[in-house]
Copies of this chain bind each other. A is one copy, B any other.
């Protein structure tokens, strides 16, 4: 067997085990018995050790040294690019540290959930301190003298730096702030839907909408969790949502968002399954799919027109008088506390807040003990209201508890990419709104499948967007889209 074939066989087993590890996480957040958390941490730790050992196996180093990437076809070369990057990363992290991070973050998630339920920040802080310290250790091992935060960011979005992101955020912020101020000063109040929406019926509609956006039930399932997520690659890609009887948009748009992530995984070229190309290429590109499904398609005037009718059928009412009011309600701009419920105008301000705080935590410029105060100050400044309760503030997101530092900025990067893709998609699929108004998304989701999703990890993140759009990704199209949409909605 050639070194390349041997490496690919090894990688195939590793990818299969990584799918198992992912599903342990899915199980933990959806259906695991509550008293099983400590044992689950042991299980995850054991599997993480196995994965780390495989990823740092000296045999892999030998194979890598023996393989000439230049002699490979583009698919083989792309696989090598991923494996070389992953090997370089994995060999820098001591096995004991990797095991400890897996164990602590598994436990931390349960403690975070308890703290959030009890609105008790103090219950979470000692554990968060452990997580931050471990992630700083990890970043130091990876950065080799370079920027700690960049080292973590690189796990989620290869090839971009915090400095580049910071610069882009600086360009975006004035226009977002201006748009927000114009909308808030418009004096126009968007309608809100009211009423009770049966929870089982919401889940039924969520299933129907998921299917309309191309979700394949033969290779997935929908469950409930505290924080909606998508999990898995290949032929088992599961999504979750949450249900609030007073707010069906929470359930429905969380579902559409996760379907964006999940169809990205489901529609990758099946030849890439259980290879390094068999998963979405970066968190930013992943988020571009979930965001364009949720916002540019799901919150469009055309699609909300269809959804208004369907909700009226399903619940007896859609909560407002007519389709125009429904469109305005779906896109209502409001200074809410919760990132995942934020409108498109405020959303990126949430991300900028978290980006700055987590950069400071990782840099050592902000102590965990001071995090809640820093969050509350910044929130009051950017959003104009005071945080009322920790569950609506520093405790709202699962990310930090599971060690996801460097992940948040990829949400706004995803929005930026979604803006670019939307511009190109609208040009390529001129009759899109006519179909969306009938609840048919195939024109949009088919174009995304063909231009982005099927490639999996074949191209580098920014390259896949540029190939799909025909221009280099930049923040312009997103800001133009937001200006046009919300200026029209608020008459400003």
State the A residues within 8 Å of B (CB). Answer: 12-14, 16-17, 19-20, 23-24, 27, 31-36, 38-40, 42-43, 45-47, 49-50, 216-221, 234-236, 238, 273-274
Given contacts A23-B27, A27-B27, A50-B50, contact A16 B35 (CB under 8 A): no
B274 and A40 within 8 A (CB): no
Knowing that A16-B42, A16-B43, A33-B238 touch, tell me 4 more A-B residue pairs with CB under 8 angstroms.
Answer: A14-B46, A19-B43, A33-B218, A35-B219
The CA of A293 and the CA of B32, in the complex, are separated in Å by: 25
B36 and A236 within 8 A (CB): yes
B17 and A50 within 8 A (CB): yes
Q: Which of chain B's residues have a CB closer than 8 A to the CB of A40?
A: 236
Q: Which of chain B's residues have a CB closer than 8 A to the CB of A31?
A: 31, 221
Given contacts A13-B49, A50-B50, A221-B31, contact A20 B36 (CB under 8 A): no
Q: Is the interface of A mostly helix, strand, loop or mixed?
A: helix
Residue of A23, A34, A39, A274 with most chain B CB atoms under a 10 A cut-off: A39
In the A-B complex, the 3 residue pairs with the smallest Cβ-Cβ separation, listed nearest first, are A35-B218, A36-B236, A16-B46
B217 and A33 within 8 A (CB): yes
Q: Which of chain B's residues have a CB closer than 8 A to the CB of A39?
A: 16, 19, 234-236, 273-274
Q: Which of chain B's residues have a CB closer than 8 A to the CB of A13?
A: 46, 49
User: Which residue of B has the minimal Cβ distance to A45?
Assistant: B16
Q: Smallest Cβ distance from A234 to chain B, in angstroms?
A: 5
A-B contact pairs, 9 of them (CB 8 A): A16-B43, A16-B45, A16-B47, A23-B27, A27-B27, A31-B221, A32-B236, A33-B219, A33-B238
B274 and A33 within 8 A (CB): no
Q: Which of B20, B45, B49, B235 contacts A47 (CB 8 A)?
A: B20
A20 and B19 within 8 A (CB): no
Q: Smallest Cβ distance from A246 to chain B, in angstroms?
A: 25
Q: Which of chain B's residues have a CB closer than 8 A to the CB of A234?
A: 39
A236 and B33 within 8 A (CB): yes
Q: Which of B17, B47, B235 contacts A38 (CB 8 A)?
A: B235
Q: Which of chain B's residues have a CB closer than 8 A to the CB of A17?
A: 43, 46-47, 50
B42 and A274 within 8 A (CB): yes
Q: Which of chain B's residues have a CB closer than 8 A to the CB of A274?
A: 39, 42
Q: Which of chain B's residues have a CB closer than 8 A to the CB of A35?
A: 216, 218-219, 235
